[in-house]
Amino acid sequence: MPETFSTGWDIGGAHLKVAQAGPGGRLVRAIQVPCRLWLGMEELAKALEEVGRHLLPSHRHGITMTGELTDLFASRAEGVARLCERMAQSLGGAELRAYAGSQGFLTLSDAAQSWRAVASANWHASARLVARHHATALFIDVGSTTTDIVPIRDGRVDAVGYTDDERLASEELVYTGATRTPVMAVADSVPFAGQRQRIMVEYFATMADVHRLTGELPDDADQLPTADGRGKTGEDSARRLARMLGRDIESAPMAAWQRLAAHLAERQRQSLQTAIDCVLSGGGLDAAPIVGAGIGRFLVRTVAQRVGSPYVDFADLIDGEAQTREWASRCAPAAAMAILAVDGW
């Protein structure tokens, strides 16, 4: 019966993520598809149609989002209202609620009025689910574009900031991710061919290229077109990375491009560790586990080792089949929405 399953939605600016949970919170679906929302609402329509073919009938739906930030909308308030309206149209007579952090789930009409609490609240949903399992922890979700660093103390989400601007100021939100982040945002110069060379401030390559060359990026993790619209082999990635230096791939052996990728990956790890150290300096998290989620959680594992904290994978908190739990970790907010919605509003 449709009432048996709860569905969670995370509407991002680059991807649509959806998960479904059954009785007891067991996850039965976790799906991510590209959704380049900045190109128009028709991108969301196509993504909804694609995931709809894989979903079980469901009457209860929880929605969270970051897509209101895209420049498709004149303001975040408009973005929240239009995304809620579009989901209501798509899901017909289903029971819908929007997640508003500590306020819980709101009706869509209330969500439009309380848009500040709804806007970009997806991180809070994930952390709230983690807090059910770990009374004290540091939750880190490295996605395609951003990283959330969320302290959990005394069984509750204990972040300093809530809105994006507050979280950027507290370093609980870092605009770096495992795939979409341009290489030029990670470093302005690099060691290469025996000297330090400045890199071009151009969108020639992304961190997906870097992590492909280091061998850390899962093959199915990068769902969006590359910077040049070409392939996703190691050679393709090295060619794009060479362009960042004003060079061609043939100017150096593959080992040199792999070494450069390792350097850039380390620069990204260092920037994450600096932010994590800032959050940890708030106290109360000594010996607490670090819970990692997102397609870039391979970065979280390394940082956890460096700071001497035990690592816990978000997938280990999920009840479900192995492949579903893997995708749930990549789609943590959607999974959290589905599981939290099982308990009702």
Please tell me whether residues 61 and 160 are part of one structural domain: no
Please tell me whether residues 186 and 279 are part of one structural domain: yes
Has residue 130 been placed in a domain? no
- What CATH number should be reported for the domain holding residue 66? 3.30.420.40
The pLDDT, as a whole number, for residue 344 is: 82
Please tell me whether residues 111 and 208 are part of one structural domain: no
Please tell me whether residues 27 and 104 are part of one structural domain: yes
19-22 long-range contacts (CB < 8 A, ≥24 apart) are 19/328, 19/331, 19/334, 19/335, 19/337, 19/338, 19/339, 20/55, 20/56, 20/58, 20/338, 21/335, 21/338, 21/339, 21/341, 21/342, 22/342
Per-residue pLDDT of the chain (345 residues; tens, 9 = 90+): 556 899 999 999 999 999 999 999 999 999 999 999 999 999 999 999 999 999 999 999 999 999 999 999 999 999 999 999 999 999 988 999 999 999 999 999 999 999 999 999 999 999 999 999 999 999 999 999 999 999 999 999 999 999 999 999 999 999 999 999 999 999 999 999 999 999 999 999 999 999 999 999 999 999 999 999 999 999 999 999 999 999 999 999 999 999 999 999 999 999 999 999 999 999 999 889 999 999 999 999 999 999 999 999 999 999 999 999 999 999 999 999 999 999 888
Has residue 293 been placed in a domain? yes
Rounded CA-CA distance 30/50 in Å is 13
Please tell me whether residues 179 and 77 are part of one structural domain: no
Please tell me whether residues 108 and 154 are part of one structural domain: no
Q: For residue 326, how many C-alpha atoms fall within 13 Å in the half-sphere facing its CB?
A: 7
Has residue 191 been placed in a domain? yes
Has residue 145 been placed in a domain? yes
User: What is the span of the domain harbouring residue 194?
Assistant: 135-309
Please tell me whether residues 62 and 178 are part of one structural domain: no
Query: pTM, whole model, 2 decimals?
Result: 0.96
Evaluate whether 18 touches 51 at the Cβ level (below 8 Å).
Answer: yes
CA distances to 35, 36, 93, 110 from 15, in Å: 4, 7, 25, 25
Please tell me whether residues 242 and 284 are part of one structural domain: yes
For the chain, what is the domain count?
Answer: 2
Has residue 125 been placed in a domain? no
Has residue 327 been placed in a domain? yes
Please tell me whether residues 175 and 272 are part of one structural domain: yes
Helix axes 332-342, 322-330, angle to 10 degrees: 110
Please tell me whether residues 41 and 72 are part of one structural domain: yes
Rounded CA-CA distance 150/190 in Å is 31
Q: Which residues contact 9 (CB under 8 A, 6 or more apart)?
A: 16, 17, 18, 61, 62, 63, 64, 87, 334, 337
Q: Which residue has the tokens 């806007």?
A: 119
The pLDDT, as a whole number, for residue 2 is: 57
Rounded CA-CA distance 129/148 in Å is 14
Please tell me whether residues 77 and 149 are part of one structural domain: no
Q: Which amino acid is at 122?
A: N
Has residue 128 been placed in a domain? no
Please tell me whether residues 95 and 176 are part of one structural domain: no
- What CATH number should be reported for the domain holding residue 201? 3.30.420.190
Has residue 124 been placed in a domain? no
Dmax over CA atoms of the chain, in Å, equals 65
The pLDDT, as a whole number, for residue 93 is: 83
